[in-house]
Structure 1
Amino acid sequence: MVSVSERTTARWWSTAAVGAGVIALCYGFARYAYGLFVPRFGETFGLTTVGVGVLGGLSTAGYGAGLLLSLRTATRSARATVLLAGALAAVGLGLMAAAPNVAVFGGGIVVAGGSAGLVSPGVAQLIGETVGARHRVRAQTWANTGTGLGLAASAFTPLLAFGWSSIWAGFAVLAAAMTVLAWRTLPRPPASATIPAKSTPVHGLTPLVVNSVLIGATSAPYWTFSSSRLTATGLSPTAATWCWFTIGAAGLLGGLAGRAAERVGLRTANLVTWTLAAAGLALLALPRPGLLGALVSSALFGATYMALTGLCILWAARLFPTRPARGVTWSFVGLGVGQTAASPLAGAAAAGVGLPAVFGLAGLVALAAWSQLDARLAPPASGPGG
């Protein structure tokens, strides 16, 4: 006979795993895989670098719209928000695959980007409502590693012999199948889960948003220029692809951040992770990191990026114990703001001082997180959210 404890453990693993699967599709495929196929998109639609940038901006716009929409939907029905995210990923990817022109393709990018904006707040809220306090921290951080899973799964798709539209159609089918699986398996929150949330002072949320902006600002150079940097050091495109895969695969280790936060505290786990992130960035500042240095850098970046975003979710859950989606939304808005602002700044700096200096500077900026030794800038020491 299965005990209550075993059933609870199985339920949190199931919820975290399915949540991670939906996140993998919404982020790894619907949002980030675009960058892997830019050359093929450019050939199909005759895009200039400006056009490529505009389409990338549409993805960010859709992502932002999804985040803002999640403020209303996630607390009303977290389960429906997750299912909507999966459905939008399937529709957006399908539109991109079947697009007869760049206008329809751009519309698909917006819809697909919106799915990523909805999914993290939705999953965080659903876990907050359905997973017991004993397992909630680990469930949140393991679900968040879905982004790494999606990155790893999509890394080698540009090497497939199929045309990009067939690959994108396959992505859409996977997204639809994952949405059906989520519909059949995700738990429904109990009626008691709909508890009015107490308002959180703005100053309690500000340190979280600042931390998230810092994640966005320091990660932007890596997402945008790491492949170019590795190619410039003499690595082949195949090696660069392996590095992208390593980012995603190592990102799965980010799920351990929840256990680390339980053992040593959220602030300590956050600061140790930030220090490792700085080291990963700094490795690409070396004149010749080589394949080993590139792989270590990719592993550190993937693991720490997923860990830091997972720790942000735990931070948000402490601020908004009954409505973690609200804190997660504002945290990820800060993340997006940091990435949006830092990408062009990093490009301008690279033109002036070179990419090695940009990565060295990003590593130094990451160490600014040590300002959290000041209790006013640190995450809450404890809270009902874990």
Structure 2
Amino acid sequence: MQWKLVFSGLTLIAATYGLARFGYGLFLPRFAEDFEMGPGLSGMIQAGSFLSYCVTALLAARLGTRPRVVVLLAGITAALGSAGVAAAPNAGVLAGAVVLAGAGAGFATPGLVSLIESNVAARRQENAQAIVNSGTGAGLVAAGVLLILVAGQWRLGWAVIAAVVILATAATLASDRKRALPERGESAAPRMPGLRELALLRRPLIAAGLAGASSAAVWTFGRTVLASGTEDELYSIAAWMVLGGFGMLGAAAGSIVQAWSLRTAWTTTALLMSGATLLLAAGPAVPAAGYASAAVFGASYIALSGVLIVWAVRTLPEQGAAGTVFLFIVLAVGQAAGSVGLGALLQPQAPLPAFGLAAAVGVLAVLPAWIRGKASPGSPREASYGSLQR
């Protein structure tokens, strides 16, 4: 395995996802205090970040045969957005900067999927993809450490995030030995999935959208709920770090799928994520419940997103990067919808109704993996169902 690329790719995911994208939720209590933002506005800003991810992920798919350009764009957008957050004079500028910072992650995943496909042996690619994807957890831990170190100076923290993004991007580009994707078929031009390919993906697309909506509760408002339940700020930061630390266990997603099946892996991770969401809202002021829910959510969400990557690659083996892009776009659309909807419903001092709804949506995300419709052998429906059993 090309370990240098895997490690630098993990670092880039940590920087673009764990810091620049999901760092908003960690720093949200500070933003809300300094800019007088309520849950509704906070959720809308996070939704904008998720939607910008969708736009850049689609653009990345169009640049599928130029992964180095895609990775470079990931670094530029995430770094500029993070620097913008650091300098934001008001909520309007903050919102724009957060949206730009979140856009970097939309470039990062498809670019790295393509680089791994061209640099790592086929038999090792699923594990490599899962390891790189677990970088989100490492980034969350780093974000917590950073918030503690800057001692409330959140502007300094986001300036550091911009610098980390730049370094991670440079390291990833330097680790690419192939410099270009191998030719696939007669044409090197990127080809987006057509109607047949999208039909193959419809089950994971529905599952991803529901899982994304469910996960928005913790990603956007998790630390806010934990912080509102106690005056001990270190507790909520530590819980966020636990979330990230256990998120690194998501590197086992590739092995889980190989040992069980896609259906079993998806069901397990989605149900665990839903249970953790409910537990966090049920006992935010109880450290044992807070830490346990953070740990389970972190491990299950990162593993779940790793399962999505494997699901895409197995369903569309010749278009694994494009398939991953579509699944992660729908995941982000779900997160955007969840952020807005839950922001309108959430009462930080009484989070159980909103978080309970999010948990219920997460349970519904299991159903697409189990419902089998009538189809003739070899049809898109049958092929998609069969991929779950492998």
Q: TM-score, normalised by structure 1?
A: 0.85
Residue correspondence of structure 1 range 46-85 to structure 2 within 5 A: 46=35, 48-49=37-38, 52=42, 55-73=45-63, 75-85=64-74
Contact 1:67 1:118 in 2 (8 A): yes
Does the residue aligned with 1:310 lie in a helix, a strand or coil?
Answer: helix
Partner of 1:114: 103
Matched, 1:216 2:205: no
2: CA distance between counterparts of 1:38 and 1:141?
28
Count of aligned pairs between the two proteins: 372
Matched, 1:363 2:359: yes
2:244 alignment partner, one of 239, 244, 248: 248
Partner of 1:181: 171
Partner of 1:33: 23
2: CA distance between counterparts of 1:53 and 1:284?
18
2: CA distance between counterparts of 1:51 and 1:298?
24
2: CA distance between counterparts of 1:366 and 1:101?
35
- Structure 1 residue 304, shift from structure 2 partner: 0.6
Contact 1:250 1:299 in 2 (8 A): yes
Contact 1:283 1:289 in 2 (8 A): no
Q: Relative to 1, partners in 2 of residues 1:367 and 1:119: Cα closer, same or farther, differing over 3 Å?
A: same
1: CA distance between counterparts of 2:268 and 2:33?
44
Report the residue type matching 2:160 in the other structure: G
1:374 alignment partner, one of 367, 371, 375: 371
Matched, 1:340 2:332: no
Partner of 1:3: none
**CA shift digits 1:119-170 (9 cap, x unpaired):** 1111122222332221011011111111111111001323323733332222
- Structure 1 residue 81, shift from structure 2 partner: 0.9
Matched, 1:129 2:125: no
Q: Relative to 1, partners in 2 of residues 1:84 and 1:323: Cα closer, same or farther, differing over 3 Å?
A: same
Report the residue type matching 2:121 in the other structure: G
Report the residue type matching 2:201 in the other structure: L
Q: Relative to 1, partners in 2 of residues 1:132 and 1:201: Cα closer, same or farther, differing over 3 Å?
A: same
Q: TM-score, normalised by structure 2?
A: 0.84
Matched, 1:283 2:279: yes
Contact 1:312 1:331 in 2 (8 A): yes
2: CA distance between counterparts of 1:318 and 1:302?
24
Does the residue aligned with 1:161 lie in a helix, a strand or coil?
Answer: coil
2: CA distance between counterparts of 1:361 and 1:353?
16
Matched, 1:328 2:300: no
2: CA distance between counterparts of 1:107 and 1:71?
24
Identity of matched residues, %:
33
Report the residue type matching 2:315 in the other structure: L
Contact 1:216 1:336 in 2 (8 A): yes
Report the residue type matching 2:307 in the other structure: L
Contact 2:137 2:246 in 1 (8 A): yes
* CA RMSD in angstroms, aligned pairs only: 3.0
Does the residue aligned with 1:296 lie in a helix, a strand or coil?
Answer: helix
1:301 alignment partner, one of 297, 315, 338: 297
Q: Relative to 1, partners in 2 of residues 1:48 and 1:263: Cα closer, same or farther, differing over 3 Å?
A: closer
2: CA distance between counterparts of 1:24 and 1:282?
26
Matched, 1:225 2:221: yes
Does the residue aligned with 2:177 lie in a helix, a strand or coil?
Answer: coil
2: CA distance between counterparts of 1:238 and 1:259?
34
1: CA distance between counterparts of 2:214 and 2:41?
25
Contact 2:60 2:110 in 1 (8 A): yes
Partner of 1:5: none
Identify the structure with bigger relative contact order (alpha carbons < 8 Å, sequence gap 6+): 2
